Each structure stands twice: as structure tokens, then as C-alpha cells.
Amino acid sequence: MRCIFLDRDGTLNIDKGYSNKIEDLEIIGDPLHELYYLKKLGFYIIVVSNQAGAKLGYYTEKDVEVFNKEIQKKLFWLIDDFFVCTHAPDENCNCRKPKTGLIEKALEKYQISLENSFVIGDKASDIEMGERVGAKTILVLTGHGKKEITKARPDLVAENITQALRMIRKKAENEIFPVSVSLKNNKKLLGVIDTKEKSFWIKYQIEPESYKEIIERAVILNEREKRIREDIENYLTPKIVENIPVDFILGTALLARD
């Protein structure tokens, strides 16, 4: 499944130095609309952040946790998770960006397709981390972005997080198609057909007998009129995931165009 990895300070919120005080929290621009629609398209939204100030004595790890929860509140809980490195720069950990430990932790918890994912940040270290894991990268010109642009080699450059998210959404809308499926038991499910996905992902709460119905009805409803390439019975063992962003993600490994 797709994911957007967001840097925090300077990208998502204004960077006010070594601060994790709630009163200093100010979201950059208004990314709420774009985050909402990207979630409906089946994206995970995950924040990955260096917070060495916790080890250097500027604030505590609890302060970071409280600050992140406040971000969640301001963004209506659209962020799936936060992964934070609190090590000092000289500790040689494996999680301080540009090292990839934070993303590796995310991969342990979530089913993520890195080649279809993005890293957004305001520093060259964010971009380098994205390059190392094979994700696409966007440098924002907020925070340190204007100074860091000469050091970084991003795939794209955006004025701010809202523009970066909009770039991703516009591209994704040509590859992902939201589908609403009404089942025979009068239950309505909201999912997507992702032309870049290879598997059938589904939330664990959905009854097994609904799998075939989801595939049949999703194929019928899809505006590009896809059809089952092989016997539908071959695809009734989807990967069941508790925290999938939508009810189901139907990959085109199951489908072919008419």
C-alpha cells in the first residue's frame, strides 16, 4: 500500500528550534483537505522526525509525544503514526535521518509499497532517506528548504506541504479509483482499485464471504470497466490487515482491461 512519509518541523509545522511546547505549534498552511482526500485514496500518512533535543535536554520524550498528539488533534487524526529518533547526532544510531531506521520501523508495522510512496521534507537528509529506501521525494521550500535545495536531489520541489500533497493527489487520481460497494447484507464498504497494487488487501473486520462480492461489485462499478483476468475463485484469499486506510484495496493483478 502507498504511504506518504512526512518530516515534522519545517515541513508539517513551523520549526521553532528545539521546542516541543504546544503553544509553539503552528501548522504550515492548510494541508487538511489534501490529507483527507489522500486518505480516501488509500494512503498511509506517517510522520518521521529527528528529535535530538530530547537527548540534549531541551525537552523530554513525553513532551514530544504530547506535541505529536496535539498535531493529531489539529489535523483531525488523519496521521496514521509518528516514528521519532531522539538520539543525539553523535550517537551513531540507525534511525536518525538520513539513515532509514524510522522507515524500517514503519515497515514492521504497516504493509507499505515503497516504490509507490513519497517522502516529503525540508532538508537534504529527508531527501536522502527517501532515495535510500526507493521512495519518491519532494523537497518543500518552507523551513530549511530554500537553503537545502542546493544540497538535495529531490524528484520534485514544492512551495509547501499543501502543494506537495496536491502533486501526489493529482498523480494518484489517475492511478487509483475510489469505489463504494453495497453488499447483500446492506453493508456499504469504501475502498479503492489501485492500478499499481498487486494484491487484494482488506480490513480484518470484513466477513470472508464478502470477498467475492467485493471483487465482483468493484469491477462492475469501476469507471474504467475492468474485468477479472482469471477465475475469481483464485483470489478469495486476500491479505487481511487491521489498519488498512480504507475498507479494501483491490490491486490490478486481479484485473485486466476489456
More confident residue, 245 or 186: 245
Residue 131 contacts by C-beta under 8 Å, 6 or more apart in sequence? 137, 153
7 classed as catalytic: yes
Catalytic, 9? Answer yes
C-alpha closest to that of 9 among 39, 46, 48, 36: 48
Q: How many CB atoms are closer than 10 A to CB 34?
A: 22
Catalytic residue among 9, 15, 194, 247: 9
Q: Which residue has 470484513 as its cell numbers? A: 206
For position 258, what pLDDT does the model report? 43
The strand pair at 118-121 and 3-6 is best described as parallel
Looking at every residue in the chain, the average pLDDT score rounds to: 91
Longest distance between any two alpha carbons in the chain, whole Å? 62
Residue ranges covered by each domain of the chain? 3-172, 176-257
3-172 classified as CATH 3.40.50.720: no
Give the model's pLDDT for residue 257: 46
* DSSP 3-state of 50: strand
pLDDT of residue 165: 99
Catalytic residue among 7, 15, 122, 194: 7
Which residue, among 38, 28, 49, 50, has the nearest Cα to 3 in the 3D structure?
A: 38
Phi/psi region, residue 10 (left: phi>0; alpha: psi -120 to 50; beta: rest), is left
**Residue that has been written with the C-alpha cell 515503497 in this structure:** 114
What DSSP string describes 87-144?
--GGG--SSSTTSSHHHHHHHHHS---GGG-EEEESSHHHHHHHHHHT-EEEEESSTT
Q: What is the mean pLDDT of residues 44-51?
A: 98
pLDDT, tens digit, for every residue of 71-96? 999 999 999 999 999 999 999 999 99
* Angstrom distance (rounded) from CA 254 to CA 243: 22
Cα-based distances in Å from 118 to 98, 192, 194: 15, 19, 16
pTM of the model: 0.92
